[in-house]
Amino acid sequence: MSCSELICACLLPLVYLVLGVDGYCQYRWIRCYSNSMTMTDMVFVESYFYNKMEFLVFNSTVGWYVGYSGVGMRLADEKNRDKLLLPFERGNVDRFCKFSATMYNSYVGDKTIEPRVKLSLAKPFSDNHPGMLMCSAYNFYPKMIRVTWYRDGQKVTSDVSSTEELADGDWFYQIHSHLEFTPKPGEKITCVVEHASFKEPREFVWESSMPEAERNKVAIGAAGLVLGLVVSATGLLYYRKTSQGWMMAPVITASTS
Ligand SMILES: *[C@@H]1O[C@H](CO)[C@@H](O)[C@H](O)[C@H]1NC(C)=O
């Protein structure tokens, strides 16, 4: 899992040393870079700016100060001769960067929220195919996700398009992948979603035509409907017959008393 995004969002401790005298501005920009949860590639960089110009930088990969202007080069020389400063700056990789990253990772780095996946029919984008399936994943975290399509077990790459991972603005993301297709009878179309919140890829199946079990259900349902109609029709006839008899009875009784 990449943690670069995390670094950008949370781990950029901007340390400004602002000397606001007559509009001149000097500041220091300290940052940590890592692309791995193990943080073995962690780099600490500290840049010094005067107005908008970077004149001095310490990069832990390089290991010493580098100056970019006359005054910057003089300062770099001076700092690089400091027997205590360089080990201290190099130590920032562990002391400052890894320490902060561990803390932030414990807040968000290992948190995952499962996507809610919906497979639906949609209007195709082009005239090449009569149908389009849309596989939508909602409310997942982190951002990284993979949505792939399979037709009868074969991975499909053509006629597939997808949105980016769209930020909902509340730490959650959504993505929509489309497969334009011409339906084939009995074919099984699958949308496979891979996400850190799943132990293994998850399949979401679209049945293009009704399989055997579904057909049987429909047949049983239809038979049930016919039987129901017959029973209710018989009941109605019986009711009308008996209710007429019952209505007539008092009339007969009244006339005889
Ligand atoms: C730090 O130094 C390394 C090695 O020269 C370089 O690849 C990297 O881009 C530098 N990082 C920054 C932020 O300048």
Assess whether the C-beta atom of 139 lies below 6 angstroms from ligand 1: no
Can you give the CATH number for the domain in which 105 is found? 3.10.320.10
Say yes or no: 32 and 88 in one domain.
Answer: yes
The whole-angstrom separation of Cα 161 and Cα 183 is 18
The answer to whether residue 60 is domain-embedded is yes
Output the six-digit token pair for 138: 């909602």
Low-confidence ranges of the chain (pLDDT < 70): 1-22, 208-219, 243-257
Our CA dihedral for 111, 117, 122, 124, rounded to 10 degrees, sits at 60
pLDDT attached to residue 215: 53
Q: Would 247 be classed as within a structural domain?
A: no
Question: Which amino acid type is present at position 40?
Answer: T
Same domain flag for 8 and 86: yes
Q: Whose CA is nearest to atom 6 of ligand 1?
A: 61
Pull the structure tokens for residue 11.
């781990």
pLDDT at 5: 41
* Domain's final residue, options 65, 82, 109: 109
Residue 81 inside a domain? The answer is yes
Contacts of 41 (CB under 8 A, 6+ apart): 33, 34, 35
Q: Which of 30, 45, 56, 61 to mutate to test the pocket of ligand 1 (most atoms within 8 A of CB)?
A: 61
| Distance from the alpha carbon of residue 59 to the mean position of ligand 1, in angstroms | 6
Instruction: CATH number of the domain at 203, please.
Output: 2.60.40.10
CA of 30 to the centre of ligand 1 (A): 13
Dist. CA 45 → ligand 1 center (Å) = 8
The total domain count for the chain is 2
61 and 102 both lie in a single domain: yes
Residues 12 and 104 in one domain: yes
Q: Which atom of ligand 1 is nearest to the CA of 45?
A: 13
Give the closest residue to 37 by CA, choosing from 138, 112, 113. Answer: 112
pLDDT of residue 3: 40
Mean confidence (pLDDT) of the chain:
84
Domain end marker among 82, 109, 136: 109
What's residue 214's pLDDT? 53
Which atom of ligand 1 is nearest to 59's Cα? 1
Burial class (CB in 10 A: 0-12, 13-18, 19+), 35: middle
Q: With respect to residue 93, please indicate whether it lies within any of the assigned structural domains.
A: yes
Give residue-wise pLDDT tens across range 185-226.
889 999 999 999 999 999 999 976 555 555 566 567 777 788
19 and 46 housed in the same domain: yes
- Of 29, 34, 43, 49, the one to substitute when testing ligand 1's pocket (max ligand atoms within 8 A of C-beta) is 43
Last residue of a domain, one of 93, 109, 125: 109
Domain that holds residue 94: 3-109
State the chain's maximal CA–CA distance in angstroms: 133
Judge if 141 and 67 occupy the same domain: no
Give nearest CA residue, ligand 1 atom 7. 61
Q: Is the CB of 62 under 6 A from ligand 1?
A: yes
Q: Is the CB of 59 under 6 A from ligand 1?
A: yes
Q: What is the pLDDT of residue 216?
A: 60
